[in-house]
Chains A and B, each alone.
Chain A
Amino acid sequence: MPELGRVALIVCLGLAAYAVVGGALGAHTRRRRLSESAENAVIGSFLAALVASGVLVAALVQKDFSFVYVYEHTSLELPRSYTLSAFWGGQEGSLLLWLLILTGFSALAVVLGRRSARSLLPWTVPVLGVVAGFFSFLLVAVSSPFATQAAPADGLGLNPSLQNPYMLAHPPMLYLGFVGLTIPFAFAMGALLARRGDELWIVVTRRWTLVAWTFLGFGQLLGAHWAYVEVGWGGYFAWDPVENAALMPWLAATAFLHSVMIQEKRGMLKIWNVLLVVGAFALALFGTFLTRSGILSSIHSFTESSIGPWFLGFIGFTVAASTLLIVSRLPLLRSKTRLESPISREATFLYNNLLLVAFCLTILWGVAYPILTEAVRGEPITVGPPYYNFFLKTFGLPLLLLMGIGPLIAWRRASLRGLGRIFAWPIGVAVATGLLLLALGAGSSLPGLVGYTFCAFVLASIVLEFARGTRARRALSGGSWASALAELVGRNRRRYGGYVVHASIVLLAIGVIGSSAYDTTREQRLARGETMAVGGYTLTYRGAVQRRGANAMEVRALVDVKRGGEQLGTMQPGKNSYFAEQQVSNEAAIRSDRLNGEDLFLIAEQIRSDRVFLKVLVKPLVNLIWIAGLVFLGGALIALWPDAREQRRLALRYGRQEVLARA
């Protein structure tokens, strides 16, 4: 079987090389058949990557330890469900997953592009080929998943942190997001290479960006939940370099999704938008580099490898080549229109973009600083959470505020009188909320109080937008309030889907603020029968139990929990000692209160039958973070849902030209 995998990867590399050379030649000489042949090469590369992936999956399922990769990432005792997560649990497998998703997305982009953007494909295909070629080359020549050996009796097993249901979804989601950003990048570069000054590339890639952005955002939330329930340190986001690596392209893509609206509505920010697309793609590559190179200490850096220089070289090439191309096409990208007023919707979008990019760059600096200091001084200087938290507050709070301001302001310009009228309600709600929270004692954290006041402002402005829009729609078409609301959303899915996403960000902010600014933490050694009180809970240690799990020895501390005299049950924090992997994992116990969204989080150390060391965290409103994920997904789906009216409008705009190109 390994030979088939190797041949499939070599075929994939050959097809990618052909897509680059044949595609570029076809585009340059305008030879249709050559271009179509290069497009077919992109589709064929997906088939080859699929075969290679099938071989690896088959080897994993059969636990064929003659494959070095299977030996290093599985064991006989590893439950079958986690055998699949071993596919992306190591470097070679995750690179193969990158290639599989990349070629799959590229093939889909070519098939869809033949119907909607025929004229853009000739120069887009070579760009897709370059990226696929790079990953194929790594898998063929640098880091092959098909290296073989004499089969040992058992494997080394999978990292215990990866033996969690979330690991079946979190890494693929992030990869779908990372890789998805290749498509907008390729179309943007393809449009520039073709010297196109129109906006077809934006129309074609808007949905691709939204899909990648949704996967990346939801994947990060899944990762946060994994960290919360599995890593067992009491938090969900630690500003780990690899977490940052996923956050940065998401921020860049968020900025793009907003600024692209300014280009569509006002014809502005063309250069900025191309730069954001390049930035988001380069940051996605950087994220993969951070995860896979092992250059920084991270809970995600499961291995150190030699692919780092290759990645750095490719990122450098991508940024340099894109920048040169953009500079050479500047006359095409100059906007005819200018910002009319600093108080307008496009201006708030611009402020939003500046804050998002500034936040992204400060994170990038924090991630790169240890690498640079190590290169210069020979010793890395780590940047800790206080650095990132400072900038989260500095940029995050104004961003939150802008989410409430932007949608209510008109395009072009707004008068101060008009603003007073529009914002009277949201400001009133925000001030009332702030005063109420102050009276309830939320003043213990000033950033928390300000954050909640801003959240109230944004929620009020979103509700107002829906209410005013529904009322206006009902006045126009009659019918019930529900049908008017459905019609309102249906007629402008991107806008109202976007508002739902904004609501999810507010929920996220409420959860993050509640669980970080108003949490309670206490650590105490408890003897058997002894009690401790924290955050309204009373905890009593009852002793320890030990049992044999499927692939680990499990030790659990038994802790009785009471609140206000009511017995809430027994929680069992503990440790798992994995047999094959020879590693110990922390197994936190979490009790969620669905009524108030609060979590009681227990970590047990030094577990003995007569005593235990307990770390207890009470985290208010933390459950809103996970609910925010579902709302986010709902909003993204609304925004993504195809709009027949818009499709017809776009068909009218570009259809004739595309038919001419096909003729």
Chain B
Amino acid sequence: MSIELALGALLAAAVVLFVAVPFLRAGEGPRAVELDQDVLVAAEERDRALAELKELEFDHRTGKITDEDYRALVQPLRRVAARRLANGTALPKETAELPSEQHFSASSPPSSRSKR
């Protein structure tokens, strides 16, 4: 057998082993957990309402929105935001408390977790 074929066999063996690693762990493997879609969608709608309100405030401050337009838009938005926040309180408490930004970005400073 040539060195090339031996190297090829080594590569194949290495990746097969790597692929098999999850099966080699001890114990029964856990089943995947179905995410609660309603909770996620409610959280998205809550965040969307808050972001819209924040953006409206900033646009008004920059002069992009007139006072009349601001008054016409802000009340309905506040009502929606309040409603969605109220829905949000019905979510599991951990949803708002979990310090898990590291799952999204390695660049987030570790200290920022304690700030929340």
- A interface list, Cβ under 8 A from B: 1-4, 6-8, 11, 15, 18, 27, 30-37, 40-41, 43-45, 47-48, 51, 115-116, 119, 122, 196-200, 264-267, 408, 410-415, 417-418, 421-422, 468-469, 471-472, 475-476, 642, 644, 647-661, 663
Contacts and interface: CB of A to CB of B under 8 A. Distances in A.
Given A7-B11, A266-B48, 4 more contacts: A11-B11, A37-B21, A266-B52, A644-B105
B8 A40 contact: no
Interface residues of B, number: 66
Contacts of B92: 656
Contacts of B11: 4, 7-8, 11, 47-48, 51
Interface of B: 2, 4-5, 7-9, 11-12, 14-15, 18-23, 25, 29-37, 39-41, 43-45, 47-48, 51-52, 55-56, 58-59, 61-66, 68-69, 73, 92, 94-96, 98-105, 107-109, 112, 116
Contacts of B66: 415, 417-418, 421
B33 to A, nearest CB: 5
Contacts of B8: 3-4, 6-8, 11
A115 B19 contact: no
A7 B14 CA distance: 13
Contacts of B107: 642, 644, 647
- Residue picked from A11, A30, A45, most chain B C-beta under 10 Å: A11
Task: State the 8 A-B residue pairs at the shortest beta-carbon distance, nearest first.
Answer: A7-B8, A655-B100, A44-B15, A33-B29, A651-B101, A647-B105, A36-B22, A198-B40
B47 A649 contact: yes
B5 A410 contact: no
Nearest to A641: B107
B64 A410 contact: yes
Contacts of B102: 115, 651
- A interface, by DSSP: helix, strand, loop or mixed? helix
Contact of B33 (A200, A654, A663): A663
B81 to A, nearest CB: 14
A354 to B, nearest CB: 24
Given A37-B23, A199-B44, A661-B35, A411 B55 contact: yes
A548 to B, nearest CB: 40
B112 A648 contact: yes
B101 A33 contact: no
A652 B35 contact: no
Contacts of A41: 15, 19
B48 A265 contact: yes
A18 B18 CA distance: 13
A647 B19 contact: no
B98 A31 contact: no
B43 to A, nearest CB: 5
Contacts of B19: 15, 18, 37, 40-41, 44
B62 A651 contact: no
Contacts of A476: 61
A472 B58 contact: yes
A647 B35 contact: no
A116 B41 contact: no
Given A7-B11, A265-B52, A651-B101, A30 B32 contact: yes
A198 B37 CA distance: 7
B61 A653 contact: no
Contacts of B65: 410, 414, 418
Contacts of A656: 92, 94-95, 98, 100
B22 A119 contact: no
A23 B113 CA distance: 34
B44 A33 contact: no
Contacts of B2: 3
B68 A417 contact: yes
A245 to B, nearest CB: 34
Contact of B69 (A265, A414, A472): A414
A198 B22 contact: no
Contact of A655 (B63, B69, B103): B103
Given A33-B23, A197-B37, A657-B40, A267 B45 contact: yes
A415 B57 CA distance: 17
B56 A411 contact: yes
Contacts of B29: 31-33
Nearest to B55: A411
Contact of A410 (B59, B100, B104): B59
- Residue picked from A40, A411, A652, most chain B C-beta under 10 Å: A652
Given A11-B11, A265-B52, A660 B35 contact: yes
